[in-house]
Chain A
Amino acid sequence: MYKYIKQLTSLFAVIAVLFAFAGEAMAAKKSKTLKNTQKKGFVRCGVSQGLPGFSNADASGNWTGVDVDVCRAVAAAVLGDAGKVKFTPLSAKERFTALTSGEIDILSRNTTWTLSRDADIGLTFVGVNFYDGQGFMVRKDSGITSTSQFKSGLSACVNIGTTTELNMRDFFTSKGISYEPVVFEKADEVVAAYDSGRCDTYTTDKSGLAAQRTKMKDPDAHIVLPETISKEPLGPVVRQGDSVWEDIVRWSLNVMIEAEEYGITSANADAMKSSENPQIKRLVGAEGELGAAFGLDNDWSLRIIKQVGNYGESYKRNIADTGILPDRGPNQLWTKGGILYVPPAR
C-alpha cells in the first residue's frame, strides 16, 4: 500500500513538473525578435527619409509622426518606455530588404498592403494605420483641375519600386494617354524634379502629396487633384515567421484604435481603471490577463495609451494640427462614419 502511494506521488510529481515546464514554455512563447529586442533594450524601427506627419525628424533628431507612434507603442508595450526606439530612415528601394535582412524589426513607413508584398517576399502586414489613395499633384497655374484634363505627352514623376508606379500605369493606360514616367529613388529627388518643371505632375499617396507639399518652396502654388485612382491601405510590416512579434505589433496598433473607440485618452487612462465598462478595464489592464498571451505583463496596453495616446490623439498631433490633412476622411472610427474597425482586445 505504501509502495503504491509512493509510486502515485512520484507520478504526480513528474506530471506536475512536466506541466510546470510546459506552462513555462507556453508562456514564454518562442519569439526570437522579442527576445532580441528585450536584450538590446530598444525597438529597431524602419521609417521614411522624412515625410511630415508620418515619420519626420526635426533638427535635433527627434522623430514624430503616426508611423513613428506605432513603433513607440510597441516599445511602450514591450520595453516599458516609448522612447526606446532607434529609427532607421529607408528609401523605397531598401525598405523591404532592410526588414528581411534583419536590420530592422518593424517597417512603419507608409507602406501599401498588397497581395504580392504580403505573400511573395517573406513579409507580413499586420494592420492598417492609414487608409489612403493615390492622387496627382499639379501646379495651380497650369489650370488643370481634374485628371480628366490630362493629355498625351504628360511627364509624371514617381518613386521607384512603389505601388504608385504600377497604379499610374494602369490609370494612364485605361485612359489611353501616353505618358513619360520619370522614376527616382529618393522622394526628395522626385519632389525636386517636379518642382523644377522636369515633370508636369507628381503622383503618390494623397497623404504623401499633402505632406510633401509642405516641404516645397512655395506650397500654395500646388494643388492636389480631387480624383483618387487607387486604394492604398498603409500599415506596419514585420518579417514572416515570427508570429508572436506579429501579434504584438498588430495588437499594439489595434489597442490604440480601440482606446479611442471607448474614449480612453492618455490623460484619463489611469482614471479609467475604475470604469464600469469591463472592456475599458481590460484595455487599461485593470482586468484580464491579455498581456500574458504575448509574454508581456498586464500593463502593456495601459502604457501604450498613456505614453503614446490613442489613435485620434496621434492623428491630431501629427497630421491634423500640422495642417497636412485636417479632415480625417476614412481614417475615422466606424462609429463616427469612418472605416476604422478593429477586432476587440479581449
Chain B
Amino acid sequence: MNIKNTTKGFTDFFKDNSKIRNYLPQILTLLFIVFLIGYFTYNAQVNMDNRGIDFGFHFWGQEASFDIQFSLIEYDGSHSYGRAYLVGLLNTILVAVIGIFFATILGIIIGVSRLSSNYLISRVAEWYIEIFRNIPLLLQLFFWYFAALRALPLPKEAINFFDVSFLSVKGLYIPKFIWTNFDIFIYSIIAAIISIIFVYNYARKKQEQTGTQTPKFLISLGIIIVLPLLTFLIGGVSLSFEYPILKQMSETIFNYVGGAKIIPELMALAAALSLYTATFIAECVRAGILGVSKGQKEAAGSLGLTTGQILRLVVMPQALRIIIPPTTNQYLNLTKNSSLAAAIAYPDIVLVFAGTAMMQTGRAIEIVSITMATYLTLSIAISILMNWYNKKIAIKEK
C-alpha cells in the first residue's frame, strides 16, 4: 500500500509540475551527452598518455616525405602534410566534378529515354537502370579498374586515336594544351559570358514591354565565338599542342612523354561514379517530367506550340523544380562516394590524408576528424545552397 501511495505521489508530482516534466528529459539528455563526451575524452587521454602519443596538429607543417601520383597543384615530398591534404582535396573535387558532369548528361538521356514512346529504347533504359542500380558501387568500381582497365594493352601496342591520343594500361594520353597569354583568353570568356547575361536580360525586358522576340540565342552564339577569336587574332593568345610521343625506356618498357596523362584510376572512378549515379538521376528526371500535370502539355498544345517548344518552354521549367532537389542530393552522394578511391590507387583525400599521412604520423584521431569535418563542410554547404534555391523557386501557394 505504501509503495503504491509513494509512486502515486511521485507521478502526481510530475503531473502537477508541468515545468519539471518539460525540462527533466532535456536535462537528462544533456547530462547523458556531456557524460558520454567526457568519458570518451578521458579514456582517449589515458590511452594516449600510456602510449606516449600526444594530441596536436603540429604534424600539419611537417615534411610529408612521400610523393603523390597525380596532383593538380605543384607538390612533391618536401612539402608539408598540409599541402598533401590540399592535393587530396583538389583531387576529390576534380573527380566529383567530372563525375557530376557525366552523370547528369547520362542521367538526363536515360531519364528521357525511359519516357520515350519507342518500346525498345524505353526497355533498354529500364534495363540499364535496373542493372546498374542494384550492383554495389564498390563492385562496379573494382570491375572497371581491376578487370576492364587492367586488360588494356601495354604502351607499345596502345589503342590509337587518330595518332594524337593513346590508351594503354598506364593511362590515357592526350595532347597538352600550351597557352600563351592564357589570362587574356579567360578574360575574354568572362566578358563574353557577362555580355550574354546582359543580352538575355535585355531580351526579356524587351519581350515583357513590347512582346517582340529577339534572336538572343544567335546573338549569344556570335558573341561567344567572336570574342575569344578576337583574342587569338589581336590579343596575342596562341595555342599549341604538345603531343605524346612514345619513348623507349628499356628493351620492353615504353612510355609516352609529353602531352597530358589521365591515370586509369581516375578514369575508372569517374566511370563507375557516373554510371551508378546516372541511374538515380534518371529516376529523378523521370519523376520530374511525369510530375508536370498533363493539363499543362495539353494546354500548351492547344495554344499551337510544337512539341519541342512545349518541352522547352512549358514542361522543363516546371519539371526542373521537381528534379533539382533530389538531383542535388545525388550530387552530394556522388561526392561522398568518391571516397571509394581509397580502394583503388586514386590519390584523393581519403587515400592521401586518411591513408598515407595517417599511417606515417600515427595521429589517427586528428586526421580522421579533419577528414570527416571536410566532408561534413562540403555536405552542409551544398545543403544550404539547395535550401536557398528551394525557397527561391518555391511556388508561393495562396
Are B356 and A197 in contact, with the CB atoms below 8 A?
no
Residues of A within 8 A of B360 (CB): 116, 161, 166
* Minimal Cβ-Cβ distance residue in B for A99: B51
Interface size counted on chain B using CB atoms at 8 A = 40
B364 surroundings in chain A (CB, below 8 A): 97
Of B169, B344, B356, chain A has the most CB atoms within 10 Å of the CB of B356
- Least distance between A164 CB and chain B CB atoms (Å): 10
**Contacting pair A120 B361 (CB below 8 A):** yes
**CB <8 Å contact, A161 and B252:** no
Known contacts A92-B359, A120-B361, A154-B249; decide if A181 and B69 are in contact (CB<8 Å).
Answer: yes
- Cα-based distance from A139 to B356 in the complex (angstroms): 28
Of B60-68, B283-291, B313-321, which binds chain A? B60-68
**Does B154 sit at the interface, judged by CB under 8 A?**
yes
CB distance from A175 to the nearest CB of B (A): 14
Q: Could you say which residues of chain A place their CB within 8 Å of the CB of B150?
A: 192-193, 196, 198
Given A153-B255, A166-B360, A181-B69, residue A198 in contact with residue B51 (CB < 8 A): no
B359→A161 contact, CB < 8 A: yes
Provide the residues of chain B in CB contact with A121, threshold 8 Å: 51, 53, 361-362
B361 and A180 contact, CB distance less than 8 A: no
Chain B residues positioned under 8 Å from A122 (CB to CB): 48, 50-53, 362
- Complex: A48 Cα to B41 Cα, angstroms: 32
CB nearest to B355 among chain A residues? A160
> Residue B264 at the A interface, CB < 8 A?
yes
A192 CA / B147 CA spacing, docked (Å)? 11
With A142-B250, A144-B250, A198-B264 already in contact, the answer to whether A120 and B169 are too (CB < 8 A) is no
- Inter-chain contacts of A154 with B (CB < 8 A): 249, 253, 255
Stretch at the interface among A23-31, A182-190, A289-297, A334-342: A182-190
Docked pose: A142 CA to B154 CA in angstroms: 13
Chain A residues contacting B69 (CB-CB under 8 Å) are 180-183
By beta carbon, the residue of chain A nearest B168 is: A197
Distance in angstroms from A49 CB to nearest chain B CB is 15
B342 within 8 A of A: yes
Say yes or no for B251: interface residue by CB 8 A criterion: yes
Within 158-206 of A, Cβ neighbours of B (below 8 Å) are at 160-161, 165-166, 169-170, 173, 179-185, 192-193, 196-198, 200
Q: In this assembly, does B205 line the interface, its C-beta being within 8 Å of a C-beta of chain A?
A: no
In Å, the complex CA distance between A200 and B48 comes to 42
> Is A155 on the interface with B (CB-CB < 8 A)?
yes
Give the contacts of A219-247 with B (CB-CB under 8 A): 239-241
Are A183 and B253 in contact, CB atoms less than 8 angstroms apart? no
A142 vs B170: C-alpha distance when bound (angstroms): 16
Residues of A within 8 A of B68 (CB): 181
**CB proximity to B under 8 Å, residues A111-158:** 116-117, 119-123, 138-139, 141-144, 149, 151, 153-155
Interface centre among B67, B169, B355 (most CB of A within 10 A): B67
Known contacts A153-B247, A160-B351, A169-B77; is-contact A185 B342 (Cβ 8 Å): yes
Contacts of B251 in A (CB 8 A): 141-144
| In contact, B170 and A155 (Cβ under 8 angstroms) | yes
Contact present for A169 and B356 (CB under 8 Å): no
Q: Are B77 and A183 in contact, with the CB atoms below 8 A?
A: no
Give the docked Cα–Cα distance between A153 and B254 (Å): 9
Question: At the interface, yes or no: B382 with Cβ under 8 Å from chain A?
Answer: no
Distance, CA A143 to CA B249, complexed state (A): 10
Most buried by B among A122, A151, A183, A192: A183
B221 within 8 A of A: no
Name the residue of chain B whose CB is nearest to the CB of A186.
Answer: B343
Contacts of B345 in A (CB 8 A): 182-184, 193
Residues of chain B with a CB closer than 8 A to A181's CB: 66-69
Say yes or no for A279: interface residue by CB 8 A criterion.
no
Cα distance, A170 to B64, chains bound together (Å): 12
Rounded to whole Å, the gap between the CB of A229 and the closest CB of chain B is 15
Do A93 and B65 have beta carbons less than 8 Å apart?
Answer: no
Residues of A with C-beta under 8 A to B53 = 120-122
A193 to B263, CA, bound (A): 13
Residues of B contacting A153 with CB < 8 Å? Answer: 247, 249, 255, 257
Write the B248-285 contact mask toward A (1 if CB under 8 angstroms, else 0).
01111101010000001000000000000000000000
Of chain B, the residue at the smallest CB distance from A141 is B252
Provide the residues of chain A in CB contact with B65, threshold 8 Å. Answer: 166, 169-170
Annotate B29-54 by CB proximity to A: 1 below 8 A, 0 otherwise: 00000000000000000001011110
The reply on A87 being an interface residue by CB < 8 A is no
- Of all chain A residues, the one with the shortest Cβ separation from B155 is A197
Tell yes or no: A33 within 8 A of B by CB.
no
Q: Does A266 contact B (CB under 8 A)?
A: no
Contact assessment for A142 and B359 in the assembled complex, using a CB-CB cutoff below 8 Å? no
What is B's interface to A at a CB cutoff of 8 Å? Answer: 48, 50-53, 65-69, 76-77, 146, 150, 154, 169-170, 247, 249-253, 255, 257, 264, 342-345, 347, 351, 355-356, 358-362, 364
Top 10 A-B pairs ranked by shortest CB distance?
A: A122-B51, A161-B359, A121-B362, A143-B251, A142-B250, A169-B77, A153-B255, A241-B50, A151-B249, A142-B252
Q: 18 interchain pairs (CB within 8 A)?
A: A93-B355, A97-B364, A122-B52, A138-B250, A141-B252, A154-B253, A165-B356, A166-B65, A166-B66, A169-B65, A173-B76, A181-B67, A181-B69, A184-B344, A185-B342, A192-B150, A196-B150, A198-B170
12 further interface pairs, Cβ-Cβ under 8 Å (given A120-B362, A153-B247) = A120-B53, A121-B53, A122-B51, A123-B51, A143-B251, A165-B356, A169-B67, A170-B65, A180-B69, A185-B342, A193-B345, A200-B249
